Structures are given as structure tokens and as C-alpha cells.
């Protein structure tokens, strides 16, 4: 977690404040390229183009125990450090696919193609519960816009 992270009283980092900082950096870069301030339109563009990847990256940090993000379930924090899976060898390949923003169905199709034990794959996917951590980009945008520093 960087020194500019916004930490609340519980020690969690604000996903929306971090998103706002990322969007501001993006706005500055694209404004410099355009030769003028693109304003909130650039922030909206960042949310449209980069929100899902940003969200997935922060969620992976959360389950790995690297950074506790306020908007994610506290019981998911550090899940990978605490939980042992039957097929521990599948953990890294699944994480790699999640990092590439693959979804549950992509991973299940990969497992079927590779003749892997689907129950072992589903055990990991159910524990991760990736569908539970989706924050709608429009909701994110309204929070990011209201969270100016």
C-alpha cells in the first residue's frame, strides 16, 4: 500500500479514494496529451476503460492479504494465507487466470479442457466468490467523483 493511501479508522483502504487518485493521474496524462484539461470527462473515461481491471487487481490484493480494502468483505482479507484447498496446485493457475480478468466460466472451461477435477476447481472459485465483489462502474463513478481530495 502506497504512502498516499487513504486509510479509515479500521485500517482499511478506501477503494474509491484510490480509484480517484488513479483517475486523476489518467486525467492528467490524457489532458497533457490533448494540450488542455479534459476534466471530469477524462475521469469518466478512466472508469469506463479501467475500472474493472483496477477492481480485480485490488480484490486480488485483498484476498492475498496485501491490502485490506474497505469495500470488500473483511472475512475475505488474507483468504489465501488462511485457507488450504484440496488441490493447492490449482491455486496459482487459477489466480493467474483471474489476474488476466478471466471469469469463472473461462476457468471452468480451461479446467474441463485440461481434464482437471472440476470439484477442486469449484472449491477454489466458490471460496474466492469473484461475483460477490463486483462494484458497478456507475456506482463507482459517483463515489469517485464525490471523493475529491
Query: If DSSP codes are grouped into helix, strand and coil, which group holds residue 75?
Result: helix
80-131 pLDDT tens trace: 999 999 999 999 999 999 999 999 999 999 999 999 999 999 999 999 999 8
Distance CA 95, CA 2 (A): 23
What backbone torsions phi and psi does residue 13 show, to the nearest 5 degrees? -100, 140
Please state the three-class secondary structure of 91-129 as a single string.
HHHHHHHHHCCCCHHHHHHHHHHCCCCHHHHHHHHHHHC
13-39 pLDDT tens trace: 888 889 999 999 999 999 999 999 999
Q: What is the pLDDT of residue 9?
A: 46
Helix spans in the chain (H): 15-34, 39-64, 79-82, 91-99, 104-113, 118-128, 137-146
pTM for the model stands at: 0.81
Which residues does 28 contact at the CB level (< 8 Å), separation at least 6?
Answer: none
Query: If DSSP codes are grouped into helix, strand and coil, which group holds residue 69?
Result: strand
What backbone torsions phi and psi does residue 7 show, to the nearest 5 degrees? -110, 135
Domain coordinates of the chain in residue numbers? 15-146
**Is 87 or 146 the better-scoring residue by pLDDT?**
87
**Is 7 or 77 the better-scoring residue by pLDDT?**
77
Q: In this structure, are residues 104 and 134 in contact, taking their beta carbons and an 8 Å threshold?
A: no
Amino acid at each position: 500500500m502506497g504512502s498516499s493511501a487513504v486509510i479509515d479508522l479500521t485500517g482499511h483502504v478506501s477503494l474509491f479514494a484510490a480509484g480517484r487518485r488513479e483517475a486523476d493521474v489518467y486525467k492528467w496524462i490524457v489532458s497533457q496529451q490533448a494540450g488542455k484539461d479534459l476534466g471530469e470527462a477524462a475521469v469518466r473515461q478512466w472508469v469506463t476503460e479501467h475500472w474493472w481491471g483496477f477492481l480485480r487487481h485490488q480484490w486480488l490484493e485483498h484476498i492475498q492479504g496485501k491490502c485490506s480494502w474497505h469495500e470488500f468483505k473483511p472475512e475475505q482479507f488474507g483468504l489465501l494465507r488462511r485457507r488450504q484447498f484440496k488441490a493447492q496446485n490449482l491455486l496459482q493457475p487459477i489466480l493467474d487466470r483471474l489476474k488476466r480478468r478471466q471469469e469463472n466460466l473461462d476457468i471452468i472451461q480451461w479446467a474441463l479442457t485440461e481434464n482437471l477435477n472440476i470439484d477442486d476447481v469449484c472449491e477454489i472459485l466458490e471460496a474466492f466468490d469473484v461475483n460477490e465483489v463486483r462494484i458497478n462502474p456507475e456506482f463507482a463513478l459517483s463515489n469517485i467523483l464525490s471523493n475529491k481530495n
